[in-house]
């Protein structure tokens, strides 16, 4: 009965490779997010989709491309991986932005290590 | 610039020793302040939302309070299982969406038996 699930949990790859992370939520939420947590534990938003539509796109390299096939799924594809991409990537979901009592629910993260 | 600052960075308590964590923020038009708990290897887990100065929320040994410039997370008689990183966050409006959360860097709490 996992609410927000991400796969894989660990991802180790070499520089220059392309990889994807998948996320699914079964909470019936309309909005999904990708956050990046760096080595200092600082969480920063990357993208947000509301009902399959991109609504937040922070200053993220074009090598990162999110895709939302439906409102329960949000995937993250990363091209030409670089050492600096090493981090923990969290997927999250919530009810409609702007609603009160719409906290984010996070998955358990994907630890990406680029060697 | 919108900013969230948490202190202390790390806190070590003995079991039963009460204390408080601080979260100060500088955002215009606060639309709520969120507290999360994060265990190692896990995603942040939602604890509380506070919307207006003077508001308080409680859950077991935790009580969160909010003023116009900061929030406190009070931990009463903590137990070792309260050990975690506590994060606070405020939403920044973005094209009508208010769920672009600005996170603080967290307070790492260790409660020793």
**CA–CA dist B110, B80 (Å, integer):** 7
**CA–CA dist A14, A60 (Å, integer):** 20
Nearest CA in chain A to B51: A100
Cβ contacts of residue A58 below 8 Å, gap of 6+? A44, A45, A46, A47
- What's chain A's average pLDDT? 91
pLDDT value, residue B95: 44
Q: How close B64 comes to chain A (CA, Å)?
A: 16
Three-state secondary structure string covering chain A = CCCEEEECCEEEECCCCCEEEEEEECCCCCEEEEEEECCCCCEEEEEEEECCEEEEECCCCCCEEEEEEECCEEEEEECCCCHHHCEEEEEEEECCCCCCCCCCEECCCEEEEEC
Q: What is the C-alpha radius of gyration for chain B, rounded to an integer number of angstroms?
A: 14
Copy the structure tokens of residue B19. Answer: 């204390």
Query: Cβ A55–B32 below 8 Å, yes or no?
Result: no
Q: How close B86 comes to chain A (CA, Å)?
A: 11
Quick: pLDDT tens for B15-74: 999 999 999 998 777 778 999 999 999 999 999 999 889 999 999 999 999 998 899 999
- Which chain B residues are Cβ-neighbours of A4 within 8 angstroms? 43
Quick: pLDDT tens for B75-89: 999 999 999 999 999
Q: What is the C-alpha radius of gyration for chain A, rounded to an integer number of angstroms?
A: 13
CB A78 within 8 A of CB A87: no
**CA–CA dist A67, A47 (Å, integer):** 10
Other residues' Cβ atoms within 10 Å of the Cβ of residue A14: 8
Q: Which residues of B touch A (CB under 8 A)?
A: 32, 34, 36, 38, 41-46, 49, 51, 85, 87, 89, 94-101, 103, 105-106
Q: How close A79 comes to chain B (CA, Å)?
A: 24
**CA–CA dist A32, B4 (Å, integer):** 23
Residue range A83-112: average pLDDT? 88
pLDDT band of residue A97 (cuts 50, 70, 90) is low
Helix (H, G, I), strand (E, B) or coil at B45: strand
């Amino acid at each position: 009965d996992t609410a927000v699930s991400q796969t894989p949990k660990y991802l180790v790859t070499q520089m220059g490779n392309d990889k994807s992370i998948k996320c699914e939520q079964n909470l019936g939420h309309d909005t999904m997010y990708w956050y990046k947590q760096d080595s200092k534990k600082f969480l920063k938003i990357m993208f947000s989709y509301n009902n399959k539509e991109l609504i937040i796109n922070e200053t993220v390299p074009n090598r990162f491309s999110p895709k939302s096939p439906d409102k329960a799924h949000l995937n993250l594809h990363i091209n030409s991986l670089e050492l600096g991409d090493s981090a923990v990537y969290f997927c999250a979901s919530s009810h409609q932005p702007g609603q009160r009592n719409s906290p984010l629910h996070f998955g358990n993260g994907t630890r990406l290590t680029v060697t | 610039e919108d900013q969230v600052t948490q202190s202390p960075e790390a806190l070590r308590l003995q079991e039963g020793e009460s204390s408080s964590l601080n979260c100060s923020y500088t955002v215009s038009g606060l639309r709520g302040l969120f507290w999360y708990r994060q265990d190692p290897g896990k995603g942040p887990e939602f604890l509380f939302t506070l919307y207006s100065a003077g508001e308080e929320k409680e859950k077991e040994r935790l009580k969160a309070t909010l003023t116009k410039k900061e929030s406190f997370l009070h931990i009463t008689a903590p137990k070792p299982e309260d050990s975690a990183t506590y994060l606070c966050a405020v939403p920044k409006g973005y094209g009508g969406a208010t769920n672009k959360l600005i996170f603080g860097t967290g307070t790492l709490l260790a409660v020793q038996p």
